[in-house]
Amino acid sequence: MQYHAANTDSLMFITPRPDLVFERGEGSWLYDHNGKAYLDFIQGWAVNTLGHCPPEIAAALAAQAGKLINPSPAFYNGPMIELAGLLIANSVFDRVFFANTGAEANEGAIKLARKWGRLHKDGAYEIITFNHSFHGRTLATMSASGKPGWDTIYAPQVAGFPKASYNDIAAVDALIGAKTVAVMLEPVQGEGGVIPADPAFMQALRELTTKRGILLIVDEVQSGMGRTGKLFAYEHAGITPDIMTLAKGIGGGVPLAALLAREEICCFEPGDQGGTYNGNPLMTAVGIAVLKRLLAPGFLAEVEARGQYLSKRLLELSARHGLKGERGSGLLRALILADERGPEIVRRALEGGPKGLLLNSPRPNLLRFMPALNVSEGEIDLMIGMLDGLLSSQP
Ligand SMILES: *Cc1c(COP(=O)(O)O)cnc(C)c1O
């Protein structure tokens, strides 16, 4: 570990990281500088849709890099147009703006809703969001997030984000006033602990927002792009939101994000919105490769089946170890522990051997699973076996 331990001092400290360096990835496996293999159920934080270094992404990057990397955001390029067309053809939305990160796409959604409010709702600007929600790390998206403590770290906050309780339609109704322009939510709260919205709640939200003449924004940065077994999680409720944001899975590992909206909502004028890398062909070419794979016949049905399989295996594990069950949607799931051992299990899973296991604990009593969407049953079995051992043994 010596050779790089000193070098990490040149990185700004933001979080404790394990003392190892990852050098290579393939499918569900990552390899560190000692050659140790890790079964990866984090996958770049629900990002690597097709696993590590899938051939179609490597090929798309190489082909596009040899052709055109950056014509400038002031010009059209082929991949940008093709990917927007594919997203429109496979969703309820009419237009797309590309960005680089989820936070940036959400900033765009907030700006679009506020602009729409200025034009059509007498200057209404408030966006109702939810306790324990996560929308990103810019100042506005931190203010929109319902993460405890985030209201004070970088105070003052960006104003205009009243918080409601999740899955509680009366709480939303009570917050709607003359200044309200939209409601924004994650169809599955990811960072908050993998909590799916009830389809009935999503339907009631759509009804309520329509009745009150305000917008419904879905943040599908984590839940979108096949993660829940449908291309987009709003489909489970059969509703038509007004605005959607995507990131994480759409790039399969590269920085790509998107803001989608229905035609009536699109009201940006020149100068309102932009970004140097928006729609750059290197990233959008990857987005096309990812989306085409998700749209291949049978792919999403496999995600659904694998999600059910993972759920079943987690329930067995829960019963065997006296845990509190599991929850989630598709291949975004959490095992609910009976105590606060999450971080300790994550550490032992990483350090154990001969092979390590990469898991995440968004709350001390939860373990979160966000494998590649093409994870195999054999890899799920392997993970369950490793976790079984970790749950049986004490630190
Ligand atoms: C990760 C995440 C974001 C932020 O995305 P970044 O690419 O990290 O900016 C926003 N919303 C949700 C639901 C997320 O899971």
pLDDT, tens digit, 9 for 90 and up, residues 174-222: 999 999 999 999 999 999 999 999 999 999 999 999 999 999 999 999 9
Q: Are 189 and 101 found together in one domain?
A: yes
**Ligand 1 neighbourhood includes 222 CB (under 6 angstroms):** yes
Q: Are 98 and 145 found together in one domain?
A: yes
Take residue 171 and report the two structure tokens written for it. Answer: 């709480």
* Phi, psi angle pair for 376, to nearest 5°: -95, 160
Query: In a mutational test of the pocket of ligand 1, which residue from 127, 134, 218 has the highest number of ligand atoms less than 8 Å from its CB?
Result: 134
Model confidence pLDDT, tens digit, residues 59-115: 999 999 999 999 999 999 999 999 999 999 999 999 999 999 999 999 999 999 999
Model confidence pLDDT, tens digit, residues 234-243: 999 999 999 9
**Ligand 1 neighbourhood includes 134 CB (under 6 angstroms):** yes
- 234, 269, 295: which is the final residue of a domain? 295
Report, as an integer, the average pLDDT of 256-270.
Answer: 98
Atom of ligand 1 nearest to the CA of 222: 15
**Ligand 1 neighbourhood includes 219 CB (under 6 angstroms):** yes
Q: Are 242 and 359 found together in one domain?
A: no
Burial environment of residue 216 by CB neighbours within 10 A (0 to 12, 13 to 18, 19 or more) = buried
Q: Are 81 and 166 found together in one domain?
A: yes
**Ligand 1 neighbourhood includes 247 CB (under 6 angstroms):** yes
Q: Report the separation in Å between the CA atom of 320 and the middle of ligand 1, taken as the mean of its atom positions.
A: 34
Q: Are 64 and 78 found together in one domain?
A: yes
Q: Report the separation in Å between the CA atom of 393 and the middle of ligand 1, taken as the mean of its atom positions.
A: 34
Q: Report the separation in Å between the CA atom of 101 and the middle of ligand 1, taken as the mean of its atom positions.
A: 7
Query: In a mutational test of the pocket of ligand 1, which residue from 104, 129, 135, 370 has the highest number of ligand atoms less than 8 Å from its CB?
Result: 135
Report, as an integer, the average pLDDT of 305-319.
Answer: 98
**Ligand 1 neighbourhood includes 103 CB (under 6 angstroms):** yes
Domain with residue 206: its CATH number is 3.40.640.10
Mean pLDDT of all residues belonging to the chain? 97
Q: Determine if the pTM surpasses 0.95.
A: yes
pLDDT band, residue 6 (cuts 50/70/90): low
146 lies in which domain range?
55-295
Burial environment of residue 335 by CB neighbours within 10 A (0 to 12, 13 to 18, 19 or more) = buried
Residue 149 has pLDDT above 80, yes or no: yes
Q: What percent of the chain has pLDDT over 90?
A: 97
**Ligand 1 neighbourhood includes 77 CB (under 6 angstroms):** no
Instruction: Specify the residue for token string 């179609």.
Output: 56
DSSP 181: E
Q: Are 366 and 221 found together in one domain?
A: no
Report, as an integer, the average pLDDT of 296-312.
Answer: 98
Atom of ligand 1 nearest to the CA of 190: 15
Q: Report the separation in Å between the CA atom of 248 and the middle of ligand 1, taken as the mean of its atom positions.
A: 7
Q: Are 121 and 145 found together in one domain?
A: yes
Burial environment of residue 353 by CB neighbours within 10 A (0 to 12, 13 to 18, 19 or more) = exposed
Residue 2 has pLDDT above 50, yes or no: no
- 252, 278, 295: which is the final residue of a domain? 295
- 245, 270, 295: which is the final residue of a domain? 295
Residue 327 has pLDDT above 50, yes or no: yes
Domain with residue 48: its CATH number is 3.90.1150.10
Total of domains in the chain: 2
Q: Report the separation in Å between the CA atom of 142 and the middle of ligand 1, taken as the mean of its atom positions.
A: 11
Report, as an integer, the average pLDDT of 329-346.
Answer: 98
